[in-house]
Amino acid sequence: MTYDSTLNEGFLVFKADGTARTFRPSKKGLFFSDVKNEVTHTFINTVENNKTKYTIKAYSDAVRARSLQNIIGRPSTQDYIKYVEHNMIPNCPINKADILRAEDIFGANIGSLQGKTVRKKSSRIVTTIHELSTDIAERHGIVTIEADIMYINGIPFVMMTSRHIHFCTAELIKNEKSMTIATAIKQVIQIYHRHGFKVQFLLGDGQFEHIRKHFADTDITINITGRNEHVPAIERAIRTMKERIRAIVNQLPFKSYPHRLIVEMVYNVMFWLNVFPHKDGIHEVMSPRTILTGLHINHDKHCTLEFGTYVQIHKEHDNSMTV
């Protein structure tokens, strides 16, 4: 690391590959490195990052170990190690350490994953329905819903949350016509009604004024705020949603996001907001999702992968060589 006070470059940090990263002073004096426009800057483990943990010779041996594994028919790592340790490949320059090093640097053999993976029988799903207590049903059976339109990269969602229960939903809508918005709201209201709750009030801002006609035949009272006013609870819920979505985006190595990825990101955040008790909720332990649907999460089913994780998945195929 070098610093030349005669230049306005700041600190130069030289990396093992000979390149240098510049840390310039900000307006407040803190030195920083601007990586916003660098295509190669990611926060995921890559082969390039993994190989820096080893010497040039160790990396070269790992490459040779992976190449030999491909040559001899891509056996499993366990079988490959057995072949080498029992001298089943005479004069083989590869040892167990080289094989394990290749696994660490390159990951699992992609050819084996794609060619040999078979569909496994799904484990039996045991669904436990939590019965809603009579006390909660009596005290909070009448529900007030707050609604608003949330935009993520221009994609509209009808966001709704219920007072006291704090069960949040996000419904993707293709346009902002009154019929589309009303349909999205009615789908959520049906969830409450199916589980013994009765939605009596719907609160929203001026965007929801034109949906009144679609609820004329229901017992739901729609209250609209005054001009330039908003409904506080749903505004706070949207803020929380966007904060968590930004937290995911900041850890993904992409510069642009497909429509489907954004939608699934919203659904992912919404799911996890509902599975834990709200600090101002009606129960200290039961989550909004459990209160409304009776369902619980399971670590083995729901906590296996982080959103945005790269995975090799099974694809349906027949016995031909067609990919």
Give the pLDDT of residue 52.
81
Give the pLDDT of residue 9.
66
- At position 152, the amino acid (one-letter code) is I
**List of the chain residues with pLDDT < 70:** 4, 6-9, 35-47, 114, 116-133, 228-229, 313-323
Using a cut of 0.85, tell me whether the model's pTM lies above it. Answer: no
Q: What's the start-to-end Cα distance of the chain, in Å?
A: 50
Sheet holding 198-204, edge to edge: 168-172, 155-162, 142-152, 198-204, 221-224
b/e per residue 179-190 (b: at least 16 CB within 10 A) = ebbbebbbebbe
Give the pLDDT of residue 169.
94
CA–CA distance, 96 with 102 (Å, rounded to integer): 10
CA–CA distance, 244 with 239 (Å, rounded to integer): 9
> In 3D, which of 157, 164, 185, 186 has the Cα closest to residue 288?
164
Parse the chain into domains and list their residue ranges. Answer: 1-34, 48-116, 134-302
CA–CA distance, 157 with 149 (Å, rounded to integer): 6
Give me the chain's average pLDDT, please.
84
Give the pLDDT of residue 39.
47
Q: CATH says 134-302 is which class?
A: alpha beta
% of the chain residues with pLDDT over 90: 41
b/e per residue 75-90 (b: at least 16 CB within 10 A) = eeeeebbebbeeeeee
CA–CA distance, 16 with 248 (Å, rounded to integer): 30
Give the pLDDT of residue 125.
55
